[in-house]
Amino acid sequence: MKHYLNLDAIPNLQTAINEVIALKKEAYADEHLGQHKTLGMLFFNPSLRTRLSTQKAAQHLGLKTMVMNFSNEAWALEFEDGTKMSGLRSEHIKEAAAVVSQYCDLIAIRAFASLSDQQKDEEEQVLNNFVRYASIPVINMESATAHPLQALADAVTIKEQGLTKRPKIVLTWAPHPKALPHAVGNSFTKMAQNLDADFVIAQPKGYELNPAITGNTTLMYDQHEAFKGADFVYAKNWCSYNDYGKILKFDEEWMVTAEKMKLTNEAKFMHCLPIRRNIVADDHVLDHHNSLVIEQANNRTYAAQWVLKQLLKNG
Ligand code: CP
């Protein structure tokens, strides 16, 4: 593994899941691997779980961390080539990425979608320019189109439930007052397509994810129908992909409720967090013993540790 930009970096998902689960039992087994090395963590957007779990993972490996909120602490970055930099952007990505590479051995970056410029979002302008101009491995801590650390943690969380039969997994769109990116939905979809599972996505018309990602996955427009017999319900909001960045309708009918969960096979409830209670899912669902949201957050540490370990082992 050279970088961890998306799930394609994982050679074998099942092997990775098993190795993450093994890491949990011996979190400090590789604590010398990162000795005298530094992980730089650059945040263009807020975070609770990703920031703390990745730092915890680094600690387990003996890595030092440097954390910077790039959006308000660093010079505003220019990404275009050949620009006369007479405006508000004071530093070019060429220098910024090369300079961070002098102080760090690995860089992790969080840079969400703008939701205004689809082309730049799909090109992963921030992440890919760091890859281009840095001389060290880059880790995606949620980019415009992908959140692969979350998806690996989610895969581990599902595996840990120890189901004996092929599970039915439903990724359901849920309401939210703000337009949210597609990254979590995209990466969960790509991950679930690689599990031995009956995987369906439920969303209102107009909220279909990028068809290049959903591929042959079954899309359903009736949430009640989709929930029938489900073993896992993963809720997430995202804005329209076709009408890029737009909230088409704030449809409260799509909130995950205790009543709807009765349609399932006593499904486990999953969400990446943060979650808006009684908007995305009701209190009963979140406070129920079938909610896995805290286990998911815990597994973020070990998913990140597995990724850091692969990159450190590669030197
Ligand atoms: N799930 C997740 O990435 O959480 P944060 O945005 O708090 O990091």
Q: How confident is the model over 120-135, as pLDDT tens digits?
A: 999 999 999 999 999 9
Shared fold status for 7-147+300-313 and 162-291: yes
How much is the pLDDT for 116? 96
CA of 229 to the centre of ligand 1 (A): 29
The CATH number for 7-147+300-313, chosen from 3.40.50.1390, 2.40.110.10, 3.40.50.1370, 1.20.120.1200, is: 3.40.50.1370
Instruction: Give the atom of ligand 1 at the shortest distance from the alpha carbon of 272.
Output: 1
Domain ranges, ordered by start, for the chain: 7-147+300-313, 162-291
**296 to 117, 153, 174, 181, 190: CA distances (angstroms):** 31, 6, 18, 20, 17
| pLDDT over threshold 90, residue 267 | yes
Q: What is the pLDDT of residues 237-247, one digit of tens each?
A: 999 999 999 99
Q: What is the pLDDT of residues 147-191, one digit of tens each?
A: 999 999 999 999 999 977 899 999 999 999 999 999 999 999 999
* Confidence category of residue 295, pLDDT binned at 50, 70, 90: very high
Q: What are residue 238's phi and psi, to 5 degrees?
A: -150, 155
What kind and span of H or E run contains 126? helix 125-133
Residues with CB under 6 A from ligand 1: 47-50, 142, 150, 272-274
**What fold does the segment set 162-291 form as a domain?**
Rossmann fold (3.40.50)
CA of 163 to the centre of ligand 1 (A): 27
How much is the pLDDT for 71? 86
The three-state secondary structure class of 92 is: strand
| pLDDT over threshold 80, residue 263 | yes
